[in-house]
Structure 1
Amino acid sequence: MAQAIPVLGLEFWLKKAQEWDQTVILESQKDVCLHLPKLQEFLQQVYETLKHMSPSAAVEQFPPIGQLLGRLCENKFVVGHEETRNALIHCLCCLQSSEPKSAVELAANSWVKNLLCHLFCSSEAIGHEENQSINKIGCTTVDYHSKLLKNTITSWIKQLTKPENSNSENKLSGDNIRALSIRCIPILTLPDLIPLLEALLLYHGSEPKEVLDDEFLDRVNDAILRKKILLSESAVLSLWLRHLQSLEKAVLDLFQRLIAIQSKSLKEMEQIINDSFLVQAAQYPSIFRIIDNIFRNAILESDGNIKIITVVRLFTHVFLQLYQKNNTQVRFPLKAYFPHSNRSLVMALIRRPVGLPPDVCLAHLQSIIRMLSPVAKETRSRGSVFEWFLLIHFGDWVDIAAELLMTSESESADDLLWLLAFYYNPWNENEETNRTMAASRSVYERLLPLRSSASVCASKLQTLLEEEKRSACHPCTLQLYRHLFIFFLLFSPDWHVTAKEFIAHMTQTQEAAREVSDILARTVWRLSIPGMKTPKLITIVHELLHDF
């Protein structure tokens, strides 16, 4: 824990700063040089204390702090020492309010920005003689520092963007670029600095190693994720391509924000995905595969967490929307995004089911199952279930399989049940798969006659569910049951009146409630896609979802 700033220390250094302003240049320089090591040590102590405090609390507890830092910034001999100047920059940043709420905080931010611009641009302070010169040309020090910052940034950008084969004079070396990136760290959120940040991120020279500082890249990424700065798509993409850790943090940040949404509004989640820029970056196969690998690991490590699976499905949907819109540009082939999967299976799963008649959907599902089944039997291991993970991406077809089971008496019921069983547990061995299939077939066959039941009664379904739960051999089988029961209630109109009562019975555990709410949210989202004519059903699902 940081120690408090000694009051005597503040008084001593404030007195010293006043003396340095009043003595002749030579005497002041000698005294600054004599005290510089102790001053640097004190400023570091100030920073370690201020960084744990709000700006208003810092000023309230240490009233002289602003005056001290301001005077030190005006002393050319103090800020001529690079490490002391950097310590001053860090201290000043602690006095800047990220969200100013009063005129005092706005004024303080303006004062801090002025000093930061000055310290960033020059290793020499503006002394009394320079101030007089600035006044003579009719310019305030604030305007002067701001213009100086812009001119300095313009100069650096020109040097950064010089062609490789250009004259090396006035061209920044790799070491200079690294030092410049470090220099930017304390003042990343200054709006005037944005062009320089973008030029640094888009810089690609002939150096064999990364020239930008790791902390700089990490801090820029954090500022982007926290919406403190807004950079161009090309700059953000370049950041993630050159710094894998930043891309991983961005994906995990997206995960956390999506999973934290309690409303289970997939429309809201879709908007967050679009705003993250990750889906735009994923148009590059190399980035898509990195993101996809993070998704796969998250699903495997969470044992198929329903929320993570929904995030993957939604991200894939938004990704494909953008991919298919890019019809005027050169696109990478889909094989580049899914290199481990059967191309024909990828193309079949990508086909959108919107507007397709039930018989066409059924025929298409059968072709998917024919391609998936033999491969699935060969990859029954946790480390190599690529086809199952591919099915996760395009899970709408699984929901359509469940819908067809509940709305038609198909001879392909066993195939559709197999697809559901594989989706919920791809690691089943043959014997366990047979038990899951037998259990799900039993549920299906008992639900089928109830679709046109004359006596609609929730207790019938409750009894059926409890009987089937006793024979369930695996938790994943219960997930399959819930899927079938929910779709039975939704797609059998006579049972809508009992849906709320039965769902209340079925979701007595938190796990079951999460699964059911997720199925309902997915259904609303899928049926709300333009081209689906199901307004009454959407209203019913919305009402059921409201209870969650």
Structure 2
Amino acid sequence: MAQGSAHLASDYQFWLQKLSVWEQASSKETQQDTCLHLSRFQEFLKQMYEILKEMDSNAILERFPTIGQLLAKTCWNPLILAYDESQKFLIWCLCCLMNKEPRTSGESELNSWIRGLLFHVLSTFRFNMKEVGLFPESLGYEPVDYCPRLLKHMVSSLVSELRDSHLNGVNTQSRMAPERMMSLSQVCVPLVTLPDFEPLVEALLTYHGCEPQDVLSPEFFEAVNEAFLLEKCGNMLLLFYRKKIILPVSSVINLWFRHLPSLEKAMLHLFEKLFSSQKCCLREMECCIKESLLPQAACHPSFFRIVDEMFRFVLLETDGAPEVLAALQVFTSCLVEALEKENKQMKFSLKTYFPYAAPALTALLSQRPEAIPQRNRLQPLLHISQLLREAVEDHTHGDSGMMDPPPREGLKLRPQQGPFESWFLFVHFGGWVDLAVEQLLRKEAEPPEGLLWLLAFYYSPQDGSQRRVQTMVELKLLLNRLLMMLQSDSLSAMDLQKAAESPSADPRPPVCGQLVRRLLLSLLLWTPEGLAVAWEAVTHMAHTDALTHEITGFLDQTLYRLNHLCIEPSRKLARELLQELCPQV
């Protein structure tokens, strides 16, 4: 290497002087002189790369202190860049200068400067530069035609080399060296948003070597993920986005497999969209979730566990906020749809997705409630209730003699392994709660205890057994009053409001109040008698901003379900009520 460095140094000053002359004049004679020396300069670049690749960046700068000046002058000479081989070796030389793990501000600034040169080299041919006119014209091209073709040719060559390297597998002589893969990925960091580079980005994402650690730069994964995710634009106070790069689903999933921080960031971006200050209806939630490609990725159990843990954390942090519950249920619905579409049910068992739950319970919950005939819906609901009750009450059996805690303000979730895990599994599949309410409002049926327990557990998972029994008793009394009123000749909104009030002197806890309002709203929307007085009853109920927000959330959830079931006239009424109440939220 010493002999090569000495030979390189002998030509070094000659080419540095030549480059200075070429950049100071743009006459036809200068262009001709450049073209005359191009083959020799290209050989010089090749020899320089062969020597530099054996040295680290600090050693290079010590041995050749003005090499940055030489390479920068080369980068700004369009006639040199017109040769794709010259461009290729120039890129590799620049990559050799980059410090793989910068530790000082000076090293970081040098890396940024080199990335700027790389961006210029690889993007300059997207424009019509008159200076390159002499070279392409001699080949029979117009510059505007030649330059994009040159860039595409170089990208195509690199893609072919990557694919050949990937196919060679364990053949180490034919496989691309890890150091070169790392350098290539670093080169692409500032260029991933250029459309011409999408094939190269895709090829890098699908490349897998035999090394124990990934051979691509973490900055490359982060840049691709940022380009794929929706970028902020428009009103800076609100979060609206547009996509900057289009990649196949398989490439995006490969990205997340190889760089889990990118998956986590994709989930955070989704949360930011779903829970922004502007209220997001469930249909918009569904579009955002499907567009994110996260349900397709979550078909793989390892991805699902990460996504599910992030939902779990948000639920605990927000004490089960209705918006988070709705988002989790829509996401689960999209996941089930993706599983069905990709036919992966046989590939992974449901136990893999929900390891803490009984397989029988998971199998029941994963069914689509709407697909079950009306006459057969009660039995699976009771079976779900029985399995959940066994899991919850068996876990808390040792504490059954303890006093229940006093009512709390709102839903306060506590991550106990048994009850919380059972509740967390259940809330993934919110359609069963809707089905339970429908069954309870059937006039010809006595309210089954199993359904009463199911609703009490869904709305108050933190309650102990004594308080849950008390809620079930109150719920049954309320249902009996409501069903008796439905059988009367005339039904008024005021009568319904009075029937929903607590018969005892103690006010209901807020969570129990949510359950009562849900029953009342369901009765108004799902029974012929209730439809007639729905407008007046909802107006009486929505007398505060908090209650209006809660009611619009329920109406949106109902409308989302009815749109999927195509049920009228309830769908028409829910839409009209939403339009009336939304300006007040």
* TM-score, length of structure 2 as denominator length: 0.72
Q: For 1:401, which of 432, 436, 452 is the aligned residue? A: 436
Are 1:469 and 1:478, in contact at CA under 8 Å, matched by a contact in 2?
Answer: no
Cα distance change, pair 536–285 in 1 and its aligned pair in 2 (3 A):
same
**Residue matched to 1:501:** 536
Q: Distance in 2 between matches of 1:378 and 1:529?
A: 37
Q: Is 1:288 aligned to 2:304, yes or no?
A: yes
Cα distance change, pair 224–511 in 1 and its aligned pair in 2 (3 A):
same
Q: Is 1:344 aligned to 2:360, yes or no?
A: yes
**Residue matched to 2:247:** 231
- Higher mean C-alpha deviation, range 344-353 or range 256-265: 256-265
**Residue matched to 2:460:** 425
**Residue matched to 1:59:** none
Q: For 2:573, which of 540, 544, 547 is the aligned residue? A: 540
Q: Distance in 2 between matches of 1:238 and 1:264?
A: 30
Are 2:388 and 2:422, in contact at CA under 8 Å, matched by a contact in 1?
Answer: yes
Q: Is 1:382 aligned to 2:385, yes or no?
A: no
Shift in Å at residue 357 of structure 1? Answer: 4.5
Are 1:440 and 1:477, in contact at CA under 8 Å, matched by a contact in 2?
Answer: no
**Residue matched to 2:150:** 148
Q: Is 1:22 aligned to 2:25, yes or no?
A: yes
Secondary structure of 2:564 counterpart: coil
Are 1:456 and 1:498, in contact at CA under 8 Å, matched by a contact in 2?
Answer: yes
Q: Distance in 1 between matches of 2:302 and 2:437?
A: 34
**Residue matched to 2:113:** 87
The residue correspondences of 1:115-154 to structure 2 (distance < 5 A) are: 115=124, 132-154=134-156
Q: Is 1:454 aligned to 2:475, yes or no?
A: no
**Residue matched to 1:60:** none
Secondary structure of 1:407 counterpart: coil
Segments of structure 1 that go 5 or more residues without pairing to the other structure are 1-15, 44-67, 94-110, 119-125
Shift in Å at residue 219 of structure 1? Answer: 1.5
Are 1:267 and 1:525, in contact at CA under 8 Å, matched by a contact in 2?
Answer: yes
Q: Distance in 1 between matches of 2:576 and 2:130?
A: 70
**Residue matched to 2:161:** 159
- Higher mean C-alpha deviation, range 290-299 or range 84-93: 84-93
- Higher mean C-alpha deviation, range 139-148 or range 209-218: 139-148
- Higher mean C-alpha deviation, range 341-350 or range 457-466: 457-466
Q: Distance in 2 between matches of 1:127 and 1:322?
A: 52
Shift in Å at residue 374 of structure 1? Answer: 1.1
Are 1:398 and 1:420, in contact at CA under 8 Å, matched by a contact in 2?
Answer: yes
Q: Distance in 2 between matches of 1:204 and 1:171?
A: 11
Tell me the amino acid that sits aligned with residue 300 of structure 1.
L
Cα distance change, pair 17–504 in 1 and its aligned pair in 2 (3 A):
farther
Are 1:150 and 1:192, in contact at CA under 8 Å, matched by a contact in 2?
Answer: yes
Are 2:169 and 2:175, in contact at CA under 8 Å, matched by a contact in 1?
Answer: no
Are 1:134 and 1:141, in contact at CA under 8 Å, matched by a contact in 2?
Answer: yes
Shift in Å at residue 397 of structure 1? Answer: 0.9
Q: How much identity, in percent, do the aligned residues show?
A: 33
Are 2:274 and 2:280, in contact at CA under 8 Å, matched by a contact in 1?
Answer: no
Tell me the amino acid that sits aligned with residue 445 of structure 1.
N
Q: Is 1:367 aligned to 2:383, yes or no?
A: yes
Tell me the amino acid that sits aligned with residue 124 of structure 2.
L
Q: For 2:256, which of 230, 240, 247 is the aligned residue? A: 240
Shift in Å at residue 521 of structure 1? Answer: 2.1
The residue correspondences of 1:474-489 to structure 2 (distance < 5 A) are: 474-489=509-524
Q: Deviations over 1:115-157 (max 9, x none)?
A: 1669xxxxxxx997x7633321122444443223222222222
Cα distance change, pair 295–469 in 1 and its aligned pair in 2 (3 A):
farther
Are 2:122 and 2:151, in contact at CA under 8 Å, matched by a contact in 1?
Answer: no
Q: Distance in 1 between matches of 2:533 and 2:213?
A: 65
Segments of structure 2 that go 5 or more residues without pairing to the other structure are 1-18, 35-40, 42-63, 98-109, 231-242, 397-413
Q: Distance in 1 between matches of 2:291 and 2:457?
A: 33
Are 2:297 and 2:303, in contact at CA under 8 Å, matched by a contact in 1?
Answer: yes
Shift in Å at residue 437 of structure 1? Answer: 2.4
Q: Distance in 2 between matches of 1:158 and 1:112?
A: 21
Q: Deviations over 1:157-208 (max 9, x none)?
A: 2332223446545642112111111111111111110111011111111112
Shift in Å at residue 220 of structure 1? Answer: 0.6
Shift in Å at residue 544 of structure 1? Answer: 1.6
Q: Is 1:183 aligned to 2:183, yes or no?
A: no
**Residue matched to 1:47:** none
Q: How many equivalent pairs are there?
A: 475
Tell me the amino acid that sits aligned with residue 152 of structure 1.
M
**Residue matched to 1:314:** 330
Are 1:114 and 1:146, in contact at CA under 8 Å, matched by a contact in 2?
Answer: no
Cα distance change, pair 34–75 in 1 and its aligned pair in 2 (3 A):
farther
Tell me the amino acid that sits aligned with residue 145 of structure 1.
C
Cα distance change, pair 519–39 in 1 and its aligned pair in 2 (3 A):
farther
Q: Distance in 1 between matches of 2:125 and 2:346?
A: 44
Q: Distance in 1 between matches of 2:442 and 2:69?
A: 81
- Higher mean C-alpha deviation, range 330-339 or range 252-261: 252-261
Tell me the amino acid that sits aligned with residue 87 of structure 1.
W
Q: Distance in 2 between matches of 1:291 and 1:85?
A: 34
Q: Distance in 2 between matches of 1:127 and 1:463?
A: 83
Cα distance change, pair 330–350 in 1 and its aligned pair in 2 (3 A):
closer
Shift in Å at residue 409 of structure 1? Answer: 4.5
Are 1:345 and 1:371, in contact at CA under 8 Å, matched by a contact in 2?
Answer: yes
Cα distance change, pair 34–327 in 1 and its aligned pair in 2 (3 A):
closer
Q: Is 1:335 aligned to 2:360, yes or no?
A: no
Secondary structure of 1:528 counterpart: helix
Q: Distance in 1 between matches of 2:80 and 2:503?
A: 82
**Residue matched to 2:206:** 202
Q: Is 1:213 aligned to 2:246, yes or no?
A: no
Shift in Å at residue 356 of structure 1? Answer: 3.8
Q: Deviations over 1:472-518 (max 9, x none)?
A: 44321121111111112122322323322322332333433333222
Shift in Å at residue 306 of structure 1? Answer: 0.6
Cα distance change, pair 192–357 in 1 and its aligned pair in 2 (3 A):
closer
**Residue matched to 2:289:** 273
Q: Distance in 1 between matches of 2:466 and 2:345?
A: 50
Bigger relative contact order (CA 8 A; separation at least 6):
1
